[in-house]
Amino acid sequence: MASVLLFSPPNPPCPKIPKKANQGFTKRFLRLVPSRRVVITAALEKDEGRGGEDKTPAFNPFGFVTDNPSSREAIQLPESPAEAGNVGQMLYRIEDKGKEYGSYVKSGGFRWFVRETGSSESRRGTVVFIHGAPTQSYSYRVVMAQMADAGFHCFAPDWIGFGFSEKPQPGYGFNYTEEEFHEEFDKILEVLSIKSPLLLVVQGFLVGSYGLTWALKNPSRISKLAILNSPLTAKSSIPGLFQQLRIPLFGEFTSQNAVMAERFIEAGSPYVLKLEKADVYRLPYLASSGPGFALLEAARKADFKDISSRIETGFSSGRWDIPILLAWGVSDKYLPKSEAEEFQKGNPDIVKLTMIEGSGHMPQEDWPEKVVDALRTFL
């Protein structure tokens, strides 16, 4: 275990502080790579016992992680050192979280984790939910439960390389290209006995976009399409995470940040994730280096601008006539509502736009009840 100690500058000397005032010290730990845990004792930033003197905090090289609101709480060590444990013990405490409605399925030589609610006898049809990167199908758990209550049969797979599904090394049967994602998606639909036409719900970047390009290749297999916040035009911005992943060496380091997924979610949302939710989003990245390197490979193989351009053109008037619901989280900090409005203008007779107030980049996580209301009305 590697340890790093950071202290405030020794000049002027720090006076002795009573225990009740010693509130400036906090303990943190961070798992940066699968085999190492870094323990950080943060600097004394400011203490009221110094007569209100405002001290500049010591430089913290790990601030890119410890400045995350949910992570500050999530990675605080307990009072008893015996409870601090190590990465293995922490995984043991959270390894069963986040698998609601899910089971493992073998498809195309890979092990998929798939969530399912409702039954094949559900009267209103089958809905398939596709998540974006770097998250997982866990984001749909509440939406799926409520949609099942409304009479739908719902499936939400963790895409290969994400969540609890298998994360093969590039070159060993899967290279994280758009074409391969499409091929494996076809196979999992067949294994799950999902008949066409289906109701497709898509959200997010990268694999979420691949869900839309799959739809463009298979319009006859879709009865209706619902799109939650996803890049839809050639002008769509690319979040900093994906830009960082494409930088040599820096990308490798970024991909192994255990709190990467939750930070991405929070950066695109007006809310901070609760600890129990943050646990689930970070779990795959704590368990092994696999999901980080899978994301790294997928991000470097993707041509984001080309994909968004094809989506904008493919769903425009005269090219696409299947009903589309565009349910948009208004407070998305990655994709503004103007993008949704521009996309609708490209096919106004087909695209129905519903703005979801109070939601950010992942409305299914921020406000699932409003997403369900929009879906039930549309589907």
From first to last of its 379 residues, the chain has per-residue pLDDT tens of 444 444 444 444 444 444 444 444 333 333 333 333 333 333 333 333 434 444 455 544 444 444 555 444 444 434 443 344 455 555 555 666 889 999 999 999 999 999 999 998 888 999 999 999 999 999 999 999 999 999 999 999 999 999 999 999 888 889 999 999 999 999 999 999 999 899 999 999 999 999 999 999 999 999 999 999 999 999 999 999 999 999 999 999 999 998 999 999 999 999 999 989 999 999 999 989 999 999 999 999 999 999 999 999 999 999 999 999 999 999 999 999 999 999 999 999 999 999 999 999 999 999 999 999 999 999 8
Pairing of strands 198-202, 126-130: parallel
For residue 312 the two structure tokens come to 């904008």
CA distances from residue 88 to 91, 93, 95, 286, 363 in whole angstroms, order as listed? 5, 9, 10, 9, 33
Q: How far apart are CA 134 and CA 205, in angstroms?
A: 8
Q: Comparing C-alpha atoms, which of 247, 239, 245 is closest to residue 291? A: 245
CB 320 within 8 A of CB 195: no
Phi first, then psi, for residue 205 (nearest 5°) are: -90, 160
Task: Please answer whether residues 177 and 184 qualify as being in contact, where contact means their C-beta atoms are separated by less than 8 angstroms.
Answer: no
Give 240's contacts (C-beta < 8 A, 6+ positions apart). Answer: none
Cα separations in angstroms, 139 against 22, 273, 288, 303, 378: 39, 12, 21, 25, 20
Note the pLDDT of residue 65.
Answer: 45
Exposed / middle / buried, residue 89 (Cβ in 10 Å: 0-12, 13-18, 19+): exposed
pLDDT value of residue 39: 35
Q: Are 233 and 347 in contact (CB under 8 A)?
A: no
At residue 112, the pLDDT reads 98
Predicted local distance difference test score (pLDDT) of residue 48: 39
- In the prediction, which pLDDT does 123 show? 82
Task: Tell me how far apart the alpha carbons of residues 299 and 314 are, in angstroms, rounded to a whole number.
Answer: 22
C-alpha of 1 from chain center: 29
Beta strand spans in the chain (E): 2-5, 27-33, 36-41, 102-107, 110-117, 126-130, 153-157, 198-202, 222-228, 324-329, 351-356
The span from the CA of 320 to the CA of 164, in Å, is 34
* Prediction pTM value: 0.77
What pLDDT is stored for residue 87 in this prediction? 53
Strands 222-228 and 324-329 turn out to be parallel
Instruction: Give how far Cα 49 sits from Cα of 55, 245, 327, Å.
Output: 12, 44, 52
Phi-psi region of 208 (alpha: psi -120 to 50; beta: other; left: phi over 0): alpha
Predicted confidence at residue 10, as pLDDT, reads 44
Nearest CA among 343, 334, 341 for reference residue 312? 343
List the structure tokens of 272: 């901070």
CA distance linking residue 259 with residue 153, whole number of Å: 32
Cα 146 to Cα 5: distance, rounded to the nearest angstrom: 48
Q: What is the pLDDT of residue 171?
A: 80
Under 8 Å CB-to-CB from 110, ≥6 apart: which residues?
Answer: 160, 165, 166, 168, 173, 174, 184
pLDDT of residue 53: 44
